Structure 1
Amino acid sequence: MKRRNFLRAAVIGAGVTAFGNTLTPSAMAAPAQNGPSPYGPLQAADANGIRLPSGFTSRVVARSGQQVAGYTWHPAPDGGAVFADGTGWIYVSNSEVNPSGGASALRFDANGTVTDAYRVLSGTRQNCAGGATPWHTWLSCEEVDRGFVYETDPWGGPSTQRPAMGRFIHEAAAADPVRRAIYMTEDVSNGCFYRFLPTTWGDLSAGTLQVLVAGSATSGSFTWATVPDPDGSPTATRGQVSGAKRFNGGEGLHYANDTAWFTTKGDNRVWQVNLANSTYELAYDDSLVTNGTAPLTGVDNVTGTASGDLFIAEDGANMEICIITPDDIVAPFLRISGQSGSEITGPAFTPAGDRLYFSSQRGTSGSSSGGITYEVTGVFR
């Protein structure tokens, strides 16, 4: 990622981040390596069992099965995003249970106080990750065979099933306003990387589903090919296009500055797709860390900041959120202690960039009923 078009952010709209092209793409570079965190070492665990850098604090904002602002928070909190709401903001979080699933929201005032909580999506299955759109909706994705994408209203309005976006084992989604595309990952060992081109930008009811086509190497050029039958039956979408590149368990996805970053849990990799010049490469691979023990394993949800850092949550491992910096350094940012039966999900920043939300999906109990949603506050670079 060093000296390539890494993300530089300027927040626009409600919780959606657009990125200016301040760095120039150059030749392929080696994947990120172990190094010192720009935030310094992790301190002792706080009262919530979270180890943070000096100057950062944590608090619990919701617990599964318990009341928050008069609403019972959902089990197994997963992917999430933050949307601006006047002087405050809304954090939307999926529920990765089957049946039921869906998504809920927490509304905060300008001081960070939770003022409301409510359902935004019901009656769906195993809603894992998703993504925000520039028109301020949340795409909640079903991680089941022939699952749907649901477009939801963070303010609690009606939600809409979007079958044109394809029926497959959905994971995450990310909007690209430059090419007017929605990118999507597929959580299966021979999954694909997709893009959906709406017929009308801002309307996901119709469009074209395509899949990335490339060789078997870990870097190179790619093209897009149209999936003939987005319904995925009788032939799965990933099996319809000859030459579609396979990815081992697609997970989190983040778009910024003509680039999409996504993780694959089956091989502990972070992929970088340069959409301006149609090339791809590895941004991180734990097996290619040459200077000590790889700090990031169990790669999962991912988000980014204005400074150019990626924040990547771990599914299991030692329960960390790690950063990858524009200088190709990977290091822990936080670690949750005493929750080895869980995973970290849903990292998302407020529009001001001074608060980070995320969940421990199964908390200390190791059960979906034990999920805990946190806020970390501090001076993020």
Structure 2
Amino acid sequence: MSVTRRSLLAAGAIAFSGALGALFAGGSPASSRAARAGGGYGPLLRDPRGLLDLPAGFAYRVLSRAGDPLRSGEGAVPANCDGMAAFDAGGGRVRLVRNHENRATAALRVPAVAGLTYDPGALGGCTALDLAADGRVTGERVALAGTAVNCAGGRTPWNTWLSCEETEDRAGTAGCERDHGYVFEVDPARPQRTGAVPLTAMGRFAHEAVAVDPYRGVVYETEDAFVRPFGLFYRFLPDRPLGGTGSLRAGGALEALRVPGLADLAAVDEPGAEFPVEWVPVPDPSAAVTPIRHQDFGPGGITHAQKLEGCYWGGDGVHFVSSYARRGEGAPADHHGQVWFYDPRRARLRLDVLFGPAADVQLPGDSPDNICLAPDGGLMVCEDGGGAQYVFGVTAGGEVYPVARNADDIGGPGAPEWGEFAGVAFSPDGRTLYVNAYAPGTTFAVTGPWRR
């Protein structure tokens, strides 16, 4: 039986099998019931400033806003704040690195900085923020420039950030002077050390997010493709695993996941269902002639999925999100979000959570995107769907509760609209949650009685 929005509304709190129990579930009535049951922090209160609604006892600070001047003097804070990670800078200080998903039409580009710019014609990249022990912003500067559509990414065990380009634009298109569709490594403390070097062996495709196995050094990658053929789930086997900064430049092998007999993950509608998997070498990771998802993977084919997005390592495996699937766009079934878990020791793939097709996209809880681990062992999940936009928490026991709601209405009269959340991350001590409102680009720090 598939888990739908309607069944969640009927059941209230729900638990799922998995390394962390339930991973994600939606619906504001279910969320309020979970909060009353003790899993959450209570109802959200309207923010008189009209920016971020939070539970009682919580407060936020605006760290950065698109259009304001960068403290470095390099230009304005770029637009379209997306994936993000928080790093320990010592002495209670925190360093944030933040993606900017800028396309050719972006009004606020990442300023081109010498030594950090890959392609002068591309407008995306990363910025880094330095935070004092009391949470004040003490520095803000460019960390990577001249890249395109920097969506999400992931941190490495050696404390760098892997920034992912969600595009396959070639030189000569969209204002680009060089090919795009790569992963770039960023040292948030010393960005000049990593520069702007594409990790070409990790493939050229519409990257979304990555997660690094801290024991084996394998890098898992999601491909965000919403037009058929849909994206693939990859693993990159570095020649120098866990070798620290620069080790990924040494090359390696790129493989794609195949579930024998399953052409598309959307066809699975039974949470808890497990499958053996195979890893198939990618014929041409550079996609010199043919995009990878179009390439010939042999008689067994390859397994696709629409809108593969969030990806993170937790427990003994990697979790990744398919944000939605739609029959009208070529998927074999409809859903409003799946969360999968891959266990590398057993080479098994398991569906943990499924939404839709009965989900109402006007209610919160559809289209999960970025995810991170919470201090209490549960999850924080960014929503990227229709209507109001939320950050939800999910306890290890499966209770769902609202954490934040975007109150900044960017729509027109009679047509309210709220930007998605992205880049959710906790400070190293677990006392502060950082999150971006994609539009207008805003970075928040949220403090309160987080359970640890």
Structure 2 residue 314 is matched with structure 1 residue 256: yes
Partner residue, 1:177: 214
Shift of 1:5: 2.4
The runs of 5 or more residues in structure 1 that have no matched partner are 8-28, 364-370
Q: 1:288 and 1:324 mapped to 2: Cα distance?
A: 21
Shift of 1:67: 2.2
Structure 2 residue 436 is matched with structure 1 residue 380: no
**Native 8 Å contact 1:173 1:185 kept in 2:** yes
- For this pair of structures, how many residues does the alignment match? 353
Runs of 4+ residues over 6 Å off in structure 1 = none
Structure 2 residue 164 is matched with structure 1 residue 141: yes
List per-residue Cα deviations over 1:30-79 (Å, max 9, x = no partner).
Answer: 98574503123323222353221222111211001102534432111110
Shift of 1:294: 6.9
TM-score (normalised: structure 2): 0.73
Q: 2:423 and 2:429 mapped to 1: Cα distance?
A: 18
Structure 2 residue 238 is matched with structure 1 residue 204: no
The runs of 5 or more residues in structure 2 that have no matched partner are 1-14, 104-121, 169-179, 326-336, 410-416
Q: 1:265 and 1:123 mapped to 2: Cα distance?
A: 28
Give the letter for the 2:19 counterpart: N
Shift of 1:332: 2.1
TM alignment of 1:1-381, pairs within 5 A: 2=16, 4-6=18-20, 32=25, 34-35=30-31, 36-37=34-35, 38-46=39-47, 47-71=49-73, 72-87=76-91, 88-98=93-103, 99-145=122-168, 147-155=181-189, 156-157=191-192, 158-189=195-226, 190-201=230-241, 202=243, 203-205=247-249, 206-214=251-259, 215=262, 216=264, 217-218=267-268, 219=273, 220-240=275-295, 241=297, 242-267=300-325, 268-287=337-356, 295-317=364-386, 318-339=388-409, 340-363=417-440, 371-381=441-451
**Native 8 Å contact 1:311 1:322 kept in 2:** yes
**Native 8 Å contact 1:252 1:302 kept in 2:** yes
Once superposed, what is the RMSD of the aligned Cα atoms? 2.5
**Native 8 Å contact 1:348 1:356 kept in 2:** yes
Q: 1:330 and 1:144 mapped to 2: Cα distance?
A: 33
Cα separation, partners in 2 of 1:276 and 1:308, compared to 1, 3 Å:
farther
Shift of 1:223: 1.8
Please identify, of 295-304 and 83-92, the stretch whose mean Cα deviation from structure 2 is larger.
295-304
Q: Rg: which structure is higher?
A: 2
Alignment partner of 1:204: what SS? helix
Give the letter for the 1:213 counterpart: R
Identity of aligned residues (%): 34
Alignment partner of 2:356: what SS? helix
Cα separation, partners in 2 of 1:3 and 1:314, compared to 1, 3 Å:
closer
Alignment partner of 2:449: what SS? coil
Please identify, of 178-187 and 39-48, the stretch whose mean Cα deviation from structure 2 is larger.
39-48
TM-score (normalised: structure 1): 0.86
Cα separation, partners in 2 of 1:351 and 1:213, compared to 1, 3 Å:
same
List per-residue Cα deviations over 1:291-344 (Å, max 9, x = no partner).
Answer: xx9741121111112322121111243110112222223332211124324211
